[in-house]
Amino acid sequence: MATCSISLAAKLLTTLRPPLRRSPPCVQSFVTRTIARVSVISADYKKLNFRVKSSMGTEKGKGKVQVFDTEEALAVSLAKYIADLSDHFSKERGAFTVVFSGGSLIKSLRKLVEAPYIDSVDWSKWHVFWVDERLVPKDHEDSNYKLANDGFLSMVPIPTGNVYTINEALSAEGAADDYETCVKHLVKINTIDLSQASGFPKFDLMLLSMGPDGHVASLFPGHPLVHENKQWVSFIEDSPKPPPQRITFTFPVINSSANIALVVAGAGKADAVNVALGDGQNPDLLPVKLVSPEGELTWFLDRGAASKL
């Protein structure tokens, strides 16, 4: 695991931590159905009765929408999607830069630790980052690092020096500056690509989850940080969701990504999904509606999340 420190300028400090261990589950299939220009994939589209307005696929940033009858089928498809991108970028760039978020996302990565991916993926090429992190110790229950380590990282042979965590001993502002310094160093040595269009780092894959209120990363509805357009990494000390102190990538970084997967499961998020993709209304601008990558956006929804579309 690598942690960057401002006090040593742009130099990266690599800290080795012992891995933890756990275990995983099974498989399903799905059927393809195209509505307008949006691809909707469902394991049982008759049961789901998923409908989308024909104009939906024409709006920038809507992307490709895939709907699965179960979260299990979603996890199977997500694993193949990630493994294919890993293979592509590992061969093209010699590295695969992937950004995790917290929430239910990590559970949906479980198929990657099973055959065939556990043996076929070139884990040595992976470089792992977080789109946001809570300012808590790494062994704290609120830590996104702990969530990812317990549920995924401890089960795959990614080099510990390729896992870039925040320095939680710093203040929120200090930790954000420190993480930005770390990312800038990795851009400089070409581990992370740089977007020629925006001048911001261009991660190969950003795996985003979404809250029931439509927030992504630590970018919440109505918070001024949603409109930050200069910093790569910013901080928040008044998060509407505990814990209050966090760091987060800003939207210019998120939207410079080569690929973004928005992974959303559960009926509790159906309203926000409907506002983002359907004809649902909300007086606040939902941050998820601002996700519009330079590259490709793919939604992975289970039946519950898509139930109001």
pLDDT in the model for residue 77: 98
Q: Is the pLDDT of residue 26 over 50?
A: no
Q: Which residue has the tokens 């589209």?
A: 45
For the chain, the DSSP string reads -EEE-GGGTT-EEE----------------EEEEETTEEEEETTHHHHT----TTGGGSTT--EEEEESSHHHHHHHHHHHHHHHHHHHHHHHS-EEEEE--GGGGGGGGGGGSTTHHHHS-GGGEEEEESEEESS-TTSTT-HHHHHHHHTGGGS---GGGBEE--TTS-HHHHHHHHHHHHHHHHHTTSSEE-TTTSSEE-SEEEE---TTS-BTTB-TT-GGGG--S-SEEEESS-SSSSS-EEEE-HHHHTT-SEEEEEE-SGGGHHHHHHHHSS---SSPPGGGG---SSEEEEEEETTTTTT-
Count of CB atoms within 10 A of residue 298's CB? 18
pLDDT tens figures, 208-256: 999 999 999 999 999 999 999 999 999 999 999 999 999 999 999 999 9
What's the pLDDT band for 280 if we cut at 50, 70, 90?
Answer: confident
pLDDT tens-digit map of 136-149: 999 999 999 999 99
Asked if pLDDT for residue 266 goes beyond 50, the answer is: yes
Instruction: Judge contact between 300 and 261, C-beta under 8 A.
Output: yes
Would the pLDDT of 260 be above 90?
yes
pLDDT at 132: 98
**What's residue 4's pLDDT?**
62
Weakest mean pLDDT among 34-38, 84-88, 171-175: 34-38
At residue 55, does pLDDT exceed 90? no
Q: How confident is the model at residue 49 (pLDDT cuts 50, 70, 90)?
A: very low
Question: Residue 23 pLDDT more than 50?
Answer: no
Six token digits for residue 274: 């409907």
* pLDDT greater at residue 299 or residue 11: 299
29 burial class (0-12, 13-18, 19+ CB within 10 angstroms)?
exposed
pLDDT at residue 283, as a whole number: 63
> Could you give the CA distance from residue 299 to residue 278 in angstroms, rounded to a whole number?
13
pLDDT, the chain, mean: 85
Per-residue pLDDT, 156: 98
Q: Give yes or no for residue 19 having a pLDDT over 70.
A: no
pLDDT in tens, 182-207: 999 999 999 999 999 999 999 999 99
User: Pick the residue with more confidence: 288 or 9?
Assistant: 288
Mean pLDDT score, 297-303: 98
Quick one: average pLDDT of 94-100?
98
Q: pLDDT band at 59, cuts 50/70/90?
A: very low
pTM of this structure: 0.82
- Are 302 and 70 in contact by the 8 Å Cβ rule? The answer is yes
* 265-280 mean pLDDT: 93
Question: What DSSP line would sit under 43-89, residue for residue?
Answer: TTHHHHT----TTGGGSTT--EEEEESSHHHHHHHHHHHHHHHHHHH
